[in-house]
């Protein structure tokens, strides 16, 4: 998906959806963003294993490490250092990718994202919740493994962040995501925190215009969007 051609260098962006969702969820936000940026936007969306068009793509085991590696490979194939955009689990994967050795990343945009857990008991509780949610969402067997947290790498290494970060929270999201976003914004150098009033856990879906405005200002500082944005 690309914006109108322009003289400014294109912005490469890789968008990773959340657990139980699909790549299609990004359409409203990317559509709104298209009309705001001066530079052309080259946006790539993809389905996580067991989701969307890849619901049957579980012939080989997948876990949080393999999906991080897939995102890393996608970033490496980008013509220029990409912006990593992610929602919830997709944001966590984007953080994990940016914090581990791999291709250069221009920036990260995190929507309703938490940094994970240092306490093993908390991680086990999270993993059990993902298992129950997989059953409720009727995800294929094995799909929950991509959301199982195995360590505290992201939480421990947040201060090592070396690229600009935009942290977007829904003003009416669950407390754990409110707190998680605050932790990321506080510990990641050069992070900017933006709250979308009245939005829940999916502001990119329910409030695409407001999120697009925040993203555009982040990617192109000084962009004049007028009082209507």
Which phi and psi (to 5°) does residue 197 adopt?
-55, 140
- Say whether 109 sits in a helix, a strand or coil: strand
pTM: 0.93
pLDDT digits (tens, 9 = 90+) for 47-70: 999 999 998 776 578 999 999 999
Q: What value does the mean pLDDT of the chain take?
A: 92
Residues 6+ away with beta carbon under 8 Å from 37: 3, 11, 216, 219, 220, 223
DSSP secondary structure letter of residue 78: S
pLDDT digits (tens, 9 = 90+) for 20-52: 999 999 999 999 998 899 999 999 999 999 999
Q: Which residue has the tokens 């939480």?
A: 155
């Amino acid at each position: 998906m690309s914006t109108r051609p322009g003289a400014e260098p294109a912005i490469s962006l890789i968008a990773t959806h959340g657990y139980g969702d699909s790549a299609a969820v990004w359409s409203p936000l990317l559509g709104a963003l298209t009309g705001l940026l001066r530079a052309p936007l080259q946006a790539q969306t993809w389905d996580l294993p067991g989701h969307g068009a890849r619901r049957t793509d579980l012939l080989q085991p997948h876990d949080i490490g393999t999906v991080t590696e897939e995102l890393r490979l996608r970033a490496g194939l980008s013509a220029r250092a990409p912006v990593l955009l992610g929602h919830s689990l997709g944001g966590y994967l984007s953080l994990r990718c940016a914090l581990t050795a791999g291709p250069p990343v221009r920036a990260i945009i995190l929507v309703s994202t938490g940094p994970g857990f240092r306490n093993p008991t908390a991680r086990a509780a999270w993993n059990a919740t993902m298992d129950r949610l997989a059953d409720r969402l009727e995800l294929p067997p094995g799909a929950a493994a991509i959301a199982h947290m195995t360590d505290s790498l992201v939480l421990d290494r947040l201060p090592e962040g070396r690229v600009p970060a935009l942290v977007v929270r829904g003003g009416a999201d669950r407390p754990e995501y409110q707190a998680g976003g605050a932790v990321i914004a506080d510990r990641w150098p050069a992070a900017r925190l933006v709250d979308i009033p009245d939005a829940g856990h999916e502001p990119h879906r329910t409030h695409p215009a407001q999120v697009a405005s925040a993203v555009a200002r982040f990617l192109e500082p000084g962009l004049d969007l007028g009082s209507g944005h």
